[in-house]
Structure 1
Amino acid sequence: MEQFLAFGIVGLSTAAIYAIIGSGLVLTYTTTGVFNFAHGAAGMVSAFVYWQLSVGWGWPVPLALAAVLLVFAPGFGLLFGKALAPTQGLGDAEKLVMTIALLSGLIVLARWVWNPNESRSLPRFFADQPSIDLGVVTLTWHQALTMIVAIAVAIGLRVLLTRTRTGAEMRATVDDRALVGLTGADPRKANRIAWILGIELAAIGGILIAPTVTLDAAQLSLLIVSAYTAAIFGRLRNLPMVFLGAVVVGLLESYLTGYLPQNEYLPGLRLAAPALLLFLALLVFPHGRLRGRDRKLGAVPLPTLGGSAAFAAAVVVLGLMLASMLSEPDLITYGAMFAWGMIALSYVPLLGFAGQISLCQLSLAGIGAVAYGHLGPDGQWWALFAAMGIAGVVGAVIAIPALRLSGVYMALATAAFAVILDRWIFTLPSFELLGVKISLFDQGSVSIVGPDLFGLKVETTAGITVFAAVCLAVVGIGIALLRRSKFGRRLIALRDSEAAYATLGGNLLVARVLVFALSAAIAGLGGALYGMQISAVAPEQFNLVAGLPIFLIVTIAGLGAVGAGLFTGLVFAGPLNVIPVLWPGLLNLSQVLPSLGGILFGGGVLKEGAITPMRREWFPMLRDRLVAPVLIAVILGLWGLRLLETIDGWEFTGGVVLALIAARVWHSSRTRPAPDPAVVPVEWWGVKRPFKTEDEEVLDRAVTTGS
């Protein structure tokens, strides 16, 4: 009994921290309409800043706490509010991009500033004081402080939101900002207060929980999964239920730690329990209307058959160029762009066409890699299709229970699924299910070889690179045909309005299951190709945090664009690897680039995505019957010189860039309209041509309009 109560005390103290963090998350969502995936990262950064002040620089604890909670956290909250303000009124995916960009960027930034290879720890508050004796159990002063703070937060938020004018204004701004303004209130001020309080609570939670865990950027940021679960218990608006959910999560974690049987299959269950509970809560609890659901959805590009074929040919040629010019180590690094591109391409039908948000595509790629590695140890060609099928079945399984979820709820469900795979499923040893032996990573890594295509063994890295390029080209054409098909148009209708789609006779279950299965199969193929490229894969390569940059880059490229796959692969395997090679000191800066791009996208700077303006500016040049053939001939000539080793790789790259720029200038000069000699500027009327009677009316109208 004493042990049971002791674990209960530990669980309640942890629950208090989850309640504090979760209440801050609900506060910002309730008042601004933005679900902040970076809420935990804000608490993580605050904890690191507190460590730096109190331990790193030796400040007194009260002074360090005052600096973090009274200066840093409020300023951080204002920055969050300013950065996320432009996301209101955007689509669900676009809203999430900014907060996910902040989450990923803050993790990279923390690792940049505080070296993750150095061990750090924070002392517990009042650690030198004797524990509080409650008879059957003892309570540390740190645990008592945590519970007292949680109670104070609960009372304070209740009073603020229900008994003050400021709280009423904060809750009203998300529903109708204009109407709130008519009452004499300032919606922007209400939002600023909400962000300050929300990040303040995240900072308090981060500082309180940091002494009990390893001070690690990713681990502290993903503790927010437990707070997500508490927030879902409260359906993102009911604070008392948020605290109840936090108690459930805290006690569950504590009692699993104390009473979970010790065997090789269950240790990961305790780590994955909050994510598993989050997934179940999303399915069980009813969810009301998402706040701020007014969406501004852009048109999905309609690719032409000729353009799709030309693009596919360009992808294959690029693969041949890389395979023939790069060394073995460089091919392993840069040739992986086609595998990354395949994983990114899986987002196009799912998110771009159907509007279904998923944060577990890289995890599905891991399933495809594992399945192919075990089913095709000698590269059997059919194992590749089997891996796609297995990943597709898993994708369909995700879609069926999540049928009633959308937007933020769907993103949370898929993120929870990714965490469950990463923390538990991928860590399992081999086991039998219905008499069938199932092996995953076997608590290690899985070796993967190239395919055997009917006697043609693809063994070399160069051959695998070309094979991956061909696969990306073929799947890209398939996605283009899907966009032009009746089913593709139905998916776009599903994205525009699920209710209207169902009203017109569409079957939501069938559509969702099919698009999730298709997307998962493509991701599984990408995972298998990636495994071939690097010869072996491990579970940490397919976790939630590792997949966030892919989501960001493909969204920056442009949702719905077939070229988003290759664009993501080029960025992920190109600049992010080239920059550290050329300038080693910029390694951390290169890793934060996807997050910076996501912030620019969410802020409206890259509103169209990157591919749309590129297509508008560059594609006309590629259709020029004189410029395009000359450009192709120059590039092929540079390729030949590189194969003859007349020029090196950097000279080839520089030559291609100069050729593209020159071709663009040439095309512009060829298509620039010649000046009409009959058109005389207004300032030369009466000088270069006689002044006409109607000119006076034209000038009067121009002056009137200008004034």
Structure 2
Amino acid sequence: MEQFIAFGIVGLSTAAIYAIIGSGLVLTYTTTGVFNFAHGAAGMISAFVYWQLTIGWGWPTPTAIVAVLLVFAPLFGLAFGKALAPTQGLGDAEKLVMTIALLSGLIVLARWIWNPNESRSLSRFFADKKSIDLGVVTITWHQALTMVVAIVVAIALRILLFRTRTGAEMRATVDDRALVGLTGADPKRANRVAWILGIELAAIGGILIAPTVALDAAQLSLLIVSAYTAAIFGRLKSLPMTFLGAVVVGLMESYLTGYLPQNEYLPGLRLAAPALLLFVALLVFPHGRLRGRDRKLNPVPLPTRSGSVAFAATVIVLGLMLATMLTESDLITYGAMFAWAMIALSYVPLLGFAGQISLCQLSLAGIGAVAYSHLGPDGQWWAILAAMGIAAVVGVVIAIPALRLSGVYMALATAAFAVILDRWIFTLPSFEILGIKISLFDQGSISLVGPDLFGWKLDSIEEITVFAAVCVAVVGLAIAVLRRSKYGRRLIALRDSEAAYATLGGSLLIARVLVFAFSAAIAGLGGALYGMQSQAVAPEQFGLVSGLPIFLVVTIAGLGAVGAGLFTGLALAGPLKVIPVLWPGLSNLAQVLPALGGIAAGGGALKEGAIGPLRRDWFPMLRDRIIAPLLVVVILGLWGLRLIDVIDGWGFFFGVVAAVIAARFWHSERVKPDPETLEIPVEWVGVKRPWTSEDEEVLERGVTAGS
């Protein structure tokens, strides 16, 4: 019994931290309408700043606490509010992109400032004092302080929200911002207060929990999953229920630690338990079933048949160029762009067409890699189709339970699924179900080989690269055909308004299941291709945090554009890999680029995506009957010069860039209208061209008509 109570005390102290963090999350969401995925990252940064002040610079603990909580956290909260202000009134996807970009960027920033290879730790508060003896159990002063702070936070929030004018403004802002403004209140001020308090609570939680765990940027940021669960218990609006949810999560973690049987299959369950509980809570607690039309959605581009075929051919030629010009070691690094492109393509029908938010596409790619590795150890061609099928089945498993979820709830469910796979499922050893042996990563890494296509064994990196390019081209064509089909139009209708889609007789179940299965199959193929290219993969390569840059870059490219896949692959395997090679000092800056681009995209700077301006300003020259063939000849000529070693790889690259830019300017000159043929408004006649007698007649007719 004493042991049970002891574990309960530990669980309550942990629950207190989750309650503090979760209450800040609920506070900002109910006031601003923004679900802050970067909330945990804000607490993580605060914990690192606290470590820097106390351990790094030797400041006294009270001074450091005052500096973090009264200076750094409020300024950080104002910065969050300023960064996320453009998302007010936007759809769920735009808000989600912004906060995920902040999450990814803050993790990279922390690793940039504080070397992750160096071990760091913080001492518990009052560690030198004797523990408090309660008879049956003893508790540390740190645990007692944590619970006291949680109680103080609960009381303070209650007083603020229900006994002050600022609290009334914050609660009223949730219902109707415009009406609040008419009463003389200031919704913007309420938002600022909410962001300051929310980040303040995240900072308090980060400082309190940091001494009990390792100071790792990703681990501390993902501790927010437990706070997510607590917030969902409160349905993102009730602080008392959020505190209750925190108690449930804290006690569950503690008792699992104490009473979970010791075997090789269950240790990961304790780590994944908060995410598993989050997934269950999302399914159990009621949420809005259907969402209305979001009139800020961008139109989905309609690819032409000729353009789709030309693009597919370009992808294959690009694969051939890389395979013939790069060394084997470079191909392993840069040839992975086609695998990344395939995984990114899985977002196009799912999020771009159907508007279904998913954060577990890279995890589904991991399932595809595992399935292909074990089913095709010798490269059997059918193992690729089997891997796609297994990934599709898992996609259906996600879609059916989550049918009633949308928007941020769907994002949370898929994020929880990714964490469950990352922390538990992927770490399992081999096991049997109904006599069938199932192997995953076998608590290590797995090897993958190129496919055997009816006797043609693709066993070199060059051949695998070309094969991956062909796969991307074929899948890109399939997605283009889907976009032009009746079912593609149905998916876009589903994105525009689930309520209208269901009202007009559309089946949400069938639509979601099919698009999730199709998207998951594409992601599974991408995982298999990535494994072939890398030759061996490990579970940490398919975690939630690792998948965030893919989500951000494909959003930057423009959801709904088939070219977003190749754009993402080029970005992840291009500048993000080349910059550290050319300028090692900028390697950390390169890792921040996806987050910066995501912030720009979510803030509206890239309303049509990066591909939109390219399609409008650059692609017309490819339809020019003179310029396009000449450009192709020049590029093929440079390729030939590279193959016979007349020029090196950089010469080829800069030659292609120069040729494309020259073609663009030439096309601009060719299509520029003759100034003499331009119609000049009558008020500019005599300024932009000489006055003529005909102009006088035009002017007289205009005056007569007006009278």
TM range (shorter): over 0.9
Matched letter for residue 575 of structure 1: P
Which stretch of the first structure deviates more once superposed, 45-54 or 690-699?
A: 690-699
Matched letter for residue 570 of structure 1: L
Superposed CA deviations along residues 327-354 of structure 1, whole A, max 9, x for unmatched, are 0000001100000000000000000011
Superposed CA deviations along residues 347-381 of structure 1, whole A, max 9, x for unmatched, are 00000011000000000000000000000000000
Note if contact 1:175-1:292 (Cα within 8 Å) is conserved in structure 2: no
**Cα distance, 1:246–1:679 mapped onto 2, change above 3 Å:** closer
| 1:460 matched to 2:464 | no
Q: TM-score, normalised by structure 2?
A: 0.97
| 1:446 matched to 2:449 | no
Structure 1 SS opposite 2:342: helix
Note if contact 2:43-2:221 (Cα within 8 Å) is conserved in structure 1: yes
Note if contact 2:685-2:691 (Cα within 8 Å) is conserved in structure 1: no
Note if contact 1:232-1:242 (Cα within 8 Å) is conserved in structure 2: yes
Matched letter for residue 114 of structure 1: W
Note if contact 2:87-2:603 (Cα within 8 Å) is conserved in structure 1: yes
* Shift of residue 91, structure 1, vs aligned partner: 2.0
Query: Which residue of structure 2 lines up, in the alignment, with residue 173 of structure 1?
Result: 173
2-structure distance, mates of 1:513, 1:43: 37
Query: Which residue of structure 2 lines up, in the alignment, with residue 549 of structure 1?
Result: 549
Structure 2 SS opposite 1:676: helix
Q: TM-score, normalised by structure 1?
A: 0.97
Query: Which residue of structure 1 lines up, in the alignment, with residue 271 of structure 2?
Result: 271
Query: Which residue of structure 1 lines up, in the alignment, with residue 324 of structure 2?
Result: 324
Matched letter for residue 280 of structure 1: V
* Shift of residue 679, structure 1, vs aligned partner: 6.1
Query: Which residue of structure 2 lines up, in the alignment, with residue 475 of structure 1?
Result: 475
**Cα distance, 1:536–1:338 mapped onto 2, change above 3 Å:** same
Matches within 5 A, 1:81-160: 81-160=81-160
Note if contact 2:293-2:496 (Cα within 8 Å) is conserved in structure 1: no
RMSD: 1.9
Query: Which residue of structure 2 lines up, in the alignment, with residue 193 of structure 1?
Result: 193
* Shift of residue 206, structure 1, vs aligned partner: 0.2
Note if contact 2:290-2:406 (Cα within 8 Å) is conserved in structure 1: no
Note if contact 1:350-1:516 (Cα within 8 Å) is conserved in structure 2: yes
**Cα distance, 1:547–1:677 mapped onto 2, change above 3 Å:** closer
- Gaps of at least 5 residues in structure 1 are 702-707
Query: Which residue of structure 2 lines up, in the alignment, with residue 704 of structure 1?
Result: none
2-structure distance, mates of 1:290, 1:49: 42
1-structure distance, mates of 2:300, 2:487: 14
Note if contact 1:89-1:295 (Cα within 8 Å) is conserved in structure 2: no
1-structure distance, mates of 2:65, 2:378: 59
Structure 1 SS opposite 2:675: coil
Note if contact 1:89-1:292 (Cα within 8 Å) is conserved in structure 2: no
- Gaps of at least 5 residues in structure 2 are none
Note if contact 1:427-1:443 (Cα within 8 Å) is conserved in structure 2: yes
**Cα distance, 1:121–1:683 mapped onto 2, change above 3 Å:** farther
**Cα distance, 1:602–1:579 mapped onto 2, change above 3 Å:** same
| 1:692 matched to 2:681 | no
1-structure distance, mates of 2:211, 2:679: 76
**Cα distance, 1:455–1:678 mapped onto 2, change above 3 Å:** closer
Note if contact 1:104-1:545 (Cα within 8 Å) is conserved in structure 2: yes
2-structure distance, mates of 1:687, 1:507: 66
Note if contact 1:174-1:291 (Cα within 8 Å) is conserved in structure 2: no
* Shift of residue 697, structure 1, vs aligned partner: 11
**Cα distance, 1:289–1:42 mapped onto 2, change above 3 Å:** farther
2-structure distance, mates of 1:88, 1:501: 26
Query: Which residue of structure 2 lines up, in the alignment, with residue 595 of structure 1?
Result: 595
1-structure distance, mates of 2:79, 2:333: 36
* Shift of residue 62, structure 1, vs aligned partner: 0.8
**Cα distance, 1:462–1:144 mapped onto 2, change above 3 Å:** same
1-structure distance, mates of 2:241, 2:301: 44
Structure 1 SS opposite 2:404: coil
**Cα distance, 1:140–1:678 mapped onto 2, change above 3 Å:** closer
1-structure distance, mates of 2:227, 2:341: 33
* Shift of residue 687, structure 1, vs aligned partner: 6.2
**Cα distance, 1:527–1:687 mapped onto 2, change above 3 Å:** closer
Query: Which residue of structure 1 lines up, in the alignment, with residue 31 of structure 2?
Result: 31
Superposed CA deviations along residues 256-276 of structure 1, whole A, max 9, x for unmatched, are 001100000000000000000
Matched letter for residue 194 of structure 1: A
Query: Which residue of structure 1 lines up, in the alignment, with residue 11 of structure 2?
Result: 11
* Shift of residue 213, structure 1, vs aligned partner: 0.3
Query: Which residue of structure 2 lines up, in the alignment, with residue 665 of structure 1?
Result: 665
Superposed CA deviations along residues 613-652 of structure 1, whole A, max 9, x for unmatched, are 1100111100000000000000000000000100000000
Note if contact 2:289-2:406 (Cα within 8 Å) is conserved in structure 1: no
Query: Which residue of structure 1 lines up, in the alignment, with residue 368 of structure 2?
Result: 368
Superposed CA deviations along residues 541-593 of structure 1, whole A, max 9, x for unmatched, are 00000000000000111010000000000001000000000000001000010
**Cα distance, 1:695–1:582 mapped onto 2, change above 3 Å:** same
Note if contact 2:94-2:603 (Cα within 8 Å) is conserved in structure 1: no
| 1:651 matched to 2:651 | yes
Matched letter for residue 684 of structure 1: V
Query: Which residue of structure 2 lines up, in the alignment, with residue 705 of structure 1?
Result: none
Matched letter for residue 333 of structure 1: T
2-structure distance, mates of 1:292, 1:499: 6
Note if contact 1:389-1:521 (Cα within 8 Å) is conserved in structure 2: yes
Structure 1 SS opposite 2:204: helix
| 1:287 matched to 2:290 | no
Query: Which residue of structure 1 lines up, in the alignment, with residue 234 of structure 2?
Result: 234
Structure 1 SS opposite 2:179: helix
Matched letter for residue 308 of structure 2: S
Structure 1 SS opposite 2:89: coil
Query: Which residue of structure 1 lines up, in the alignment, with residue 76 of structure 2?
Result: 76
Structure 1 SS opposite 2:432: strand
Matched letter for residue 355 of structure 1: G
Sequence identity (%): 83
Matched letter for residue 12 of structure 1: L
Structure 1 SS opposite 2:437: strand
Superposed CA deviations along residues 277-321 of structure 1, whole A, max 9, x for unmatched, are 000000011124899995511111111111100000000000000
2-structure distance, mates of 1:667, 1:527: 40
Structure 2 SS opposite 1:287: coil
Superposed CA deviations along residues 430-474 of structure 1, whole A, max 9, x for unmatched, are 000111110000001111000000000000000000000000000
Query: Which residue of structure 1 lines up, in the alignment, with residue 387 of structure 2?
Result: 387
* Shift of residue 88, structure 1, vs aligned partner: 1.8
Note if contact 2:350-2:357 (Cα within 8 Å) is conserved in structure 1: yes
Note if contact 2:340-2:530 (Cα within 8 Å) is conserved in structure 1: yes
Matches within 5 A, 1:573-584: 573-584=573-584
Query: Which residue of structure 2 lines up, in the alignment, with residue 338 of structure 1?
Result: 338
Query: Which residue of structure 1 lines up, in the alignment, with residue 431 of structure 2?
Result: 431
**Cα distance, 1:678–1:478 mapped onto 2, change above 3 Å:** closer
Superposed CA deviations along residues 133-175 of structure 1, whole A, max 9, x for unmatched, are 1001111111111101100111111121122221121122243
**Cα distance, 1:9–1:678 mapped onto 2, change above 3 Å:** closer
**Cα distance, 1:290–1:92 mapped onto 2, change above 3 Å:** farther
1-structure distance, mates of 2:492, 2:245: 36
Which stretch of the first structure deviates more once superposed, 493-502 or 642-651?
A: 493-502
2-structure distance, mates of 1:364, 1:294: 28
Matched letter for residue 404 of structure 2: R
Query: Which residue of structure 2 lines up, in the alignment, with residue 571 of structure 1?
Result: 571
Query: Which residue of structure 2 lines up, in the alignment, with residue 638 of structure 1?
Result: 638
2-structure distance, mates of 1:394, 1:289: 23
Which stretch of the first structure deviates more once superposed, 134-143 or 280-289?
A: 280-289
Note if contact 2:11-2:254 (Cα within 8 Å) is conserved in structure 1: yes
Structure 1 SS opposite 2:402: coil
2-structure distance, mates of 1:275, 1:658: 50
2-structure distance, mates of 1:694, 1:105: 61
Note if contact 1:33-1:291 (Cα within 8 Å) is conserved in structure 2: no
Which stretch of the first structure deviates more once superposed, 417-426 or 678-687?
A: 678-687
**Cα distance, 1:687–1:321 mapped onto 2, change above 3 Å:** closer
Aligned residue pairs: how many?
Answer: 702
| 1:521 matched to 2:552 | no
